[in-house]
Amino acid sequence: MARQLAAKAIRRLLLVSIYVLGAVAFAGAGAGRRSAVRPSEITQQVPAVFVFGDSTMDVGNNNYLSGENVPRANKPYYGVDYPTSRPTGRFSNGYNVADFIAKALGFNESPPAYLSLAPARSNSLVVAAVSRGVSYASAGAGILDSTYAGENIPLSKQVRYFESTMAHVEARHGSRATSKFLSRSLFLFGIGSNDLFAYAEGQSGINHVATLYASLISNYSAAITDLYKGGARKFAIINVGPLGCVPVVRLLSGTGGCDDDLNQLAIGLDDAIKPMLTGLTSRLHGLVYSLGNFYDQAMDNFAHPKAFGFTNTDSACCGSGIMGAEDDCLPNSTLCTDHEGFLFWDRVHPSQRSAQLTAATFYDGMSHFTTPFNFKQLVAKKMTD
């Protein structure tokens, strides 16, 4: 019962990424070298980043979706610590994990949201795609189309949007240059939590956990395979974190502790993702990946908060009531005074500081949190034509 109540509360919250650079990148793809790169571009380790996922990755796609149940981070106090101090669609006080991964790769932030560029602005879409990449991530999205259907952009549709983007790029730059460009780009994933929340809530239409995992892995594998067929080769995958330890679940547990059932549900999916990726590399020539273990990284933060600069790891910085978890982060919410000290910004999502630590860990941090190598080593892999 506690698990169902927690999932329902979470659902209420959830129902709440220079054309010159592009030309340079494609010139490099076609000629095997880069030309006339500006100083600010020298540190870019990949030509572009393409982002797929949920609210931990979304940078504003949901702001363009209609429907009162669509989860959006378009009001204060989201974005209060972003450079503009305004909401951007990120479920954070500032940047999210996708932003910090992009920063580590030499970009200013995550690539722009697809729906901010398309479909009418095809030229802007192509410019963004070839110079920085595009984010297709959508808050509330799942690996399954049925997860909170109609309230987000599910993974399969995110992949279709990518394919549409590449059709525009290929029409402009040709298939050979596009293929080489994509083989050097990074494909970043962070998705799966919402599917597990929906299952725990009894909203997935699936009655057995084994069936759930099989469906998730089938759809996840299909998405990666489709992207591979489109030219993608380098995949950075972030697995599902300890869902039972977010503030709203702790609140409804009755003890303030983590919900072991939800955590075990996450562990089960994470354990299934590992062999899925191994299998894909054996079948799809040239595919390489790095798997970031968000579950273990988050649990390490919980176990050693002071070592990571956290003063609070169980409550929301922006919210109301007990543990700041009795309501969403709203303009009339109570804010903690130490934004950097809280692991959670709202009652489900990590703070900017937490996202920064996660990204740093997966990019070039301790090796036991990534397999078979870290994100930095992944992007350094030389791809053959």
Dist CA 309 CA 296 (whole Å) = 18
Q: Kindly provide the residue ranges of all beta strands, DSSP E only, lying in the chain, ordered along the sequence.
A: 49-53, 133-135, 186-190, 234-238, 288-292, 312-316, 318-319, 334-335, 342-344, 370-371
Kind and range of the H or E element at 303? helix 294-303
- 273 in helix, strand or coil? helix
383 to 77, 178, 254, 352: CA distances (angstroms): 43, 14, 52, 33
349 has catalytic annotation: yes
Give which of 236, 195, 220, 210 is closest to 279, Cα–Cα.
Answer: 220
346 has catalytic annotation: yes
DSSP sequence for 106-157? T-SSSPPBGGGT-SS-HHHHHHHHHHTEEE---TT--SSTTTTTTSS--HHH
Give which of 213, 246, 358 is closest to 292, Cα–Cα.
Answer: 358
Q: Do residues 125 and 118 make contact, with C-beta atoms less than 8 angstroms apart?
A: yes
Give which of 142, 136, 131, 89 is closest to 113, Cα–Cα.
Answer: 136
168 has catalytic annotation: no
233 to 143, 277, 289: CA distances (angstroms): 20, 12, 8
Which residue among the candidates 54, 193, 327, 349 is catalytic per the annotation? Answer: 349
Rounded-to-10 torsion of CA 254, 259, 262, 266: 150
Which residue among the candidates 58, 339, 346, 354 is catalytic per the annotation? Answer: 346
Which residue among the candidates 17, 55, 215, 290 is catalytic per the annotation? Answer: 55
Q: What are the catalytic residues?
A: 55, 346, 349
